[in-house]
Amino acid sequence: MSLSMLAYNELVDIYGISEIVAFTPPPPPLVERESEDSWETLEAELADCKRCPLCKTRQTIVFGAGDRNAELIFIGEGPGHEEDLSGIPFVGKAGQLLTKMIEAMHYKREEVFIANVVKCRPPENRDPFQNEVDACIGFLRRQINLVKPKVIVTLGTIAAIHLLKLDAKISKLRGSFREYEGMKVMPTYHPAYLLRNETKKKDVWQDLKQVMALLGKQP
């Protein structure tokens, strides 16, 4: 008998609970593997995931897409409505703008890898809660370790602060390279923000030009 079940039974004995609800142990914690990991293992562990409440409202788990040996990764905060339906990250209006950004860097979309901090859509496109991030970000870290990119571009505040473990707004983080486990990270504005604030596109282009220079690309 598990320790959790023993504790539950002790409570029943102590408090005399007459109607016992079926005991369902919590899911096992996500293991952030450092060796002998694979895409197949990662996909199997993520399949039908119920590690956080987002499983109750999602339509699809949005795993990530693109070149699994890419030198460049883009990371957003979470899927939106269109992504929840399609299972592909960044396919809505913000995704169309991201594609243009990628092409301006002289890449094709399929030549980079695109993922999110959480793999399931938060209701009404709200920011993911901390417990949802905690349940899911290990998958993202493992994806990064499998791809082994030269540069990571985080899109928006949520992706930057959770990957880098910093507490600051994206306006303070963007424009300078950070580091994640020896890899360069460029935080910049999210494409959805740019759709509402077109004047910030110039700032993003400056950020992306730094990434291009590091990767040997000419603007």
Q: Are 164 and 197 in contact (CB under 8 A)?
A: no
CATH class of 30-214: alpha beta
Enumerate residues 6+ apart whose C-beta is below 8 A from 6.
none
Task: Report the predicted TM-score, pTM, of the whole model to 2 decimal places.
Answer: 0.84
Per-residue model confidence as pLDDT tens digits over 65-122: 999 999 999 999 999 999 999 999 999 999 999 999 999 999 999 999 999 999 999 9
Distance, in Å, from the CA atom of 81 to the CA atom of 197, rounded to the nearest integer, reads 21
Which of 155, 208, 151, 143 has its CA nearest to residue 182?
Answer: 151
Predicted confidence band of residue 7 (pLDDT cuts 50, 70, 90): very low
Question: Looking at 21-25, 86-90, 160-164, 191-195, which range is the least confident one?
Answer: 21-25
* Domain spans in the chain, listed from the N-terminal domain onward: 30-214
Per-residue model confidence as pLDDT tens digits over 16-60: 444 434 433 444 445 455 568 999 999 999 999 999 999 999 999
pLDDT at 217: 94
pLDDT at 219: 85
